[in-house]
Each structure stands twice: as C-alpha cells, then as structure tokens.
Structure 1
Amino acid sequence: MGKANDDDERSFFSEVPVRPVAKARPAIEEKPHYLGHRDRLRERFASAGPDALPDYELLELLLFRLIPRADTKPAAKALLARFGTLAEVLGAPVGLLQEVKGIGPTVALDLKIVAATAQRMARSEIHGREILSSWQQLLDYCRSAMAFEAREQFRILFLDKKNALIADEVQQTGTVDHTPVYPREVVKRALELSATAIILVHNHPTRPFSITHDHALAR
C-alpha cells in the first residue's frame, strides 16, 4: 500500500502544471515636467523670435544647454534678481555667478564664454559706425564689458572724425577703489591712432560706472 501511495503522489504532482512566477511590471517612468516646457519655449522662440520672450526666458533657453537635466527657470530668475539685467548676468564675475543657487563652476564658466562671444559681437557691431548716434547701444556694450569688474578700469574708446570707433582699450586697471590716469598716455595713444575724439569710461566696483566724452584731440 505504501508503495502505491507514493506512486499516486508522484503522479499527482507530475500532472500539476508549474505556473511561472509573474514578473513585476516595470514602473512607467514619467518624463520630467520641464522637458515639455523646454519644447514649448523653443517652439515659441522659433516661431515668434527673441523679442517675444522676456529676459528670463532667453536666459532659460541658454541654460538648457548648460544644465541639461534640471528645471532652469528658477536659476534664470535668480540670476536676474541678483544682477538686474541679462547683460549684467553675462558681465558678472565667475565667483559671483556661483553664489546663485543652481550655478556651479562649469555653468559659470560657460556663461562667461557666452559673454565673451556677445562682447565680440557688440564690438563688431560698433566698429566702423557712428556710435554716438546709438548712445544706448554704447551704454549696453560698456555695461556688459565692465559693470561687474572687481577692480577699477579706465577704458578709452578712440573715434575718427566721423565718430566711428577706431579702437577700444583698457588703458589702466587699478584697485577696488582707485585707478591711475595719465593724460600724457591718453593723448599719446590717441595721436598714434590718429583719433579726433575719445570716450573715457571709468567704472566703480561699488556703484554704476560713469561715462564722459571728450572731443577735439589734435593730430
């Protein structure tokens, strides 16, 4: 009897189909919310142009490439709240940029590369034109170039008789509250360049820079 029972049990269990263990379905990964926002912002830029976007959204577009896996809107707004304008964000030193939440050393350096490119473009746009007929353009250019310099600079824009830019040079760099100016060197350089007018630009690290314009340097 015992043997028969053993055979029956083996037969019973052999006929029961073994059900495979159900595999857990992988959780559906939701795309980060900011990806859709990025696509919409790019589309708006492409269709309506840059004038349709406020400064913080243009800065967002720039930060998309520098910070690929995060929502860049808070960082863009924080940068503008700290420095005021898009030009001043790009003109800020690397150390100050890194004080803004979400901006690390790599992103700060990338912003300075963009700033250098923008300054080169601005210099190209001004060069050979009557820059005094576009005073606001001149102010924006100077502000982006030196508004957040940590040390005082004495900068000179040399003009020809048509008020077109011949050269843009930093003549002296001083300390946080002082820079020496030597009129003899200014005149000497103006004569070398055959300039008939100059624009003197002097910044103060603790307050907005000032601009004065002096004409009629003899050749």
Structure 2
Amino acid sequence: MKSSRFALLKVYDWAIFLPSVRQATLRFNLLTKERGLQMLSISDQSLRAYSHDVSMAQVLISYNAKGYAQLHAVAQHYPFSLIHHDLARLARISLWTEALLLTYRGAEESQFFLFYYHLLQWLNDPTLAPELLDTPFFYYSLVIHGVLPSHLAEAPSFAQLVDYDSQTRRAILHAWAENRPKRDAIRQAFLAMLPRAPKSLASLSRYD
C-alpha cells in the first residue's frame, strides 16, 4: 500500500501477529488491542525480523480513512518462540486465525485480543498438551459471540480461568478433555456458529 493513501494519524498499539500464507506469500493477520483485526503485508526487511513467529508487539501504526493499517516501527517484540517449531501447536494457530476471520464482527475486539493473548501463552507452555486447548477455544468463542447453548454453560468464566494457578487450570482442561460427550457437543455448537467449516480443522488430528 502506498503511504500517501494513509492518514497522518500514527498511534502506538499492542498487536498479536498471526501468520498466514496467501499465494506463497507470508502475511500476518494483525489483531490489535484498539483497532480490531487487520490483514497486513510486511516488507521483506520487516519479515526477517519476525521470521515465522507468532508474536506480540507494541507497534507504531498509521491508519487511513477506511481503517487499514500500515506498520511503521516496533517498540517491543515478544515472540511466542516455541509455537513455530511444533506442528501440533502451529495447527491451533491456523484454526484460531481462520475461525477469527470467519466470525469477526469488530464489536468484541478487546475480548478477542485478551482471549488470543492468553491462549497463545498457554499454547507456548511445553508442559501443556495443545489438544487440551481445543475445547476451551470452542467454548469461549461461543461465549464471546453470545451463542453458547444454555445447557453447556457450566464452565468458569474466561477471566476466572486466567486467574487460576497453572495446576488448577490444567486440572480443569483435563476434565474437559476427558468428558467426550460434552466436548463433542461444544465442538458441534462451535461449528454450527461458523458460516463454513474451517479448512484447518482437519490438521488438528493430523499433527496430534
């Protein structure tokens, strides 16, 4: 995008960079705390700095009148370094990104940012099996969108899950994973919410 198309407004914002490949070009879905979801193409020079990492950064961004983003500088950079080297974990990133693109409406941007931030932190924990995060992702996505079936609403709030110590949280995640009927019901409710099934869903079982 030409810089002349962008407004003079430049703001610092916290962002999560979610990598995706389109036509053999690596791009990033940029989920910002203040401005929601953007698709951002990054120059080769910037790309070398990020590599393929899923990361969180404080970035200087300018926005044009239509709200499209252009990256100018990175103030702080926190790569989620383990994710790129684990296909089972990277498969979750693909699913979460695709699901976000399929359902994002803008109104829940702050909730989504915090939701993804904590999910990525847990996904980066080598002691936590990535499949344990599948049901929480499905469940709290339904909660954020306000379409969770009432008969499934028995879990703690996401804020409570974040506040628990790691041992308590792990026990809750294991209990979810072991309850197959409820796990399957949550997954089906999640898929019913989407306009189409995510193509990346099949990769979960392939890499687990």
- Settle same-fold status: TM greater than 0.5: no
Q: Give TM-score scaled by structure 2 length.
A: 0.24
More strand by share: 2
Higher relative contact order (CA 8 A, sep 6+): 2
TM-score, length of structure 1 as denominator length: 0.23
Query: Max radius of gyration: which structure?
Result: 1
